[in-house]
């Protein structure tokens, strides 16, 4: 670019050096004060990602499954083989209620949580990152994209799951079941996370592995990516408004698209 052309551009969009006058024309809205067009990460700063934790950012189901099995065995109870799988995405209150139907009315929520927590801690080495999504979270954290974790798990379960996988260092904002009156599919948790980040619900992308959690995101008025660990039996019957991504598909380009 020639010197005269550069001066011409300066005169159009900003005062000449040393001048106290205002620009003859306002800066274009899409341009920053420095005169450069924002990059894609800059544009996405208006968005936020709200991650589910168990089954989404981390694969904790083997640990939870083993803890459940050991807990009910200690109680002398038996359940169908797929019983725990059917409870995926449910809160601890709902799991306790299901177990208490067999254990009896004297088996309290505190009894269940104390029993299962001990077995869960014993199985904590089985908790690993779900690499495809955790890697995306790390990359977005490096870009400064606002993010939070919203879980139906207890505060202790969220804390230990995030810590053992190192995700607590990149996503410090969390919402657990203890932070809300009603768990998923209530939108309360996702709306609280959006408020804590200062991002409107419509600008938030929810990433979930369970239909219970996906419905919570839809109920909150957010964009929802449903990316389960096991393929949906009938994708055509899924709730309208969510984006289904099969387990073996790459989530990175889809998340980029949904953040635009």
Residue 175 near residue 151 (C-beta atoms within 8 A): yes
pLDDT score for 170: 97
What distance in Å separates the CA atoms of residue 218 and residue 241, rounded to the nearest whole number?
7
pLDDT score for 63: 94
pLDDT score for 83: 87
Collapsing DSSP to helix, strand or coil, 204 comes out as: strand
The residue assigned the tokens 């670019």 is: 1
What distance in Å separates the CA atoms of residue 131 and residue 57, rounded to the nearest whole number?
8
Phi, psi of 223 (to 5 degrees): -70, 140
Calculate the average pLDDT of the chain. Answer: 85
- Check pLDDT > 70 for residue 64: yes
What distance in Å separates the CA atoms of residue 246 and residue 191, rounded to the nearest whole number?
26
pLDDT score for 20: 41
pLDDT score for 35: 38
pLDDT score for 82: 83
Phi, psi of 129 (to 5 degrees): -70, 145
pLDDT in tens, 7-35: 333 333 333 444 443 333 333 333 233 33
- Check pLDDT > 90 for residue 40: no
pLDDT score for 129: 97
pLDDT in tens, 200-211: 999 999 999 999
Collapsing DSSP to helix, strand or coil, 29 comes out as: coil
pLDDT score for 81: 83
Radius of gyration of the chain (CA): 24
Six token digits for residue 252: 């990175």
- Classify the C-alpha dihedral 158-161-164-167 as positive or negative: negative
The residue assigned the tokens 């495809």 is: 132
Mean pLDDT within 215-226: 98
What distance in Å separates the CA atoms of residue 224 and residue 16, rounded to the nearest whole number?
48
**Which of residues 107 and 27 earns the better pLDDT score?**
107
Query: Which 8-state DSSP code applies to residue 206?
Result: E
The residue assigned the tokens 């159009």 is: 12
pLDDT score for 248: 95
pLDDT in tens, 112-150: 999 999 999 999 999 999 999 999 999 999 999 999 999
What distance in Å separates the CA atoms of residue 145 and residue 68, rounded to the nearest whole number?
36
């Amino acid at each position: 670019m020639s010197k005269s052309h550069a001066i011409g551009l300066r005169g159009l969009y900003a005062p000449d050096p040393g001048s106290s006058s205002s620009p003859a024309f306002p800066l274009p809205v899409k341009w920053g004060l420095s005169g450069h067009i924002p990059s894609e990460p800059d544009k996405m700063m208006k968005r936020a990602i709200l991650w589910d934790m168990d089954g989404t950012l981390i694969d904790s189901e083997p640990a939870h499954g083993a803890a459940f099995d050991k807990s009910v065995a200690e109680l002398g109870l038996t359940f169908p083989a797929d019983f725990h799988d059917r409870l995926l995405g449910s809160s601890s209150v709902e799991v306790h209620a299901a177990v208490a139907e067999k254990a009896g009315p004297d088996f309290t929520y505190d009894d269940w949580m104390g029993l299962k927590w001990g077995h869960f801690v014993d199985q904590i080495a089985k908790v690993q990152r779900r690499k495809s999504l955790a890697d995306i979270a790390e990359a977005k954290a490096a870009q400064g994209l606002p993010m939070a974790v919203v879980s139906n798990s207890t505060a202790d379960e969220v804390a230990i799951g995030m810590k053992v996988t190192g995700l607590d260092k990149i996503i410090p904002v969390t919402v657990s079941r203890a932070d809300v009156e009603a768990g998923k599919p209530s939108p309360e948790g996702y709306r609280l996370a959006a408020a804590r980040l200062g991002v409107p619900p419509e600008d938030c992308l929810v990433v979930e592995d369970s239909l219970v959690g996906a419905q919570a995101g839809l109920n909150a008025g957010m964009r929802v990516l449903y990316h389960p660990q096991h393929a949906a039996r009938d994708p055509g019957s899924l709730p309208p408004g969510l984006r289904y991504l099969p387990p073996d598909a790459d989530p990175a380009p889809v998340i980029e698209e949904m953040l635009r």
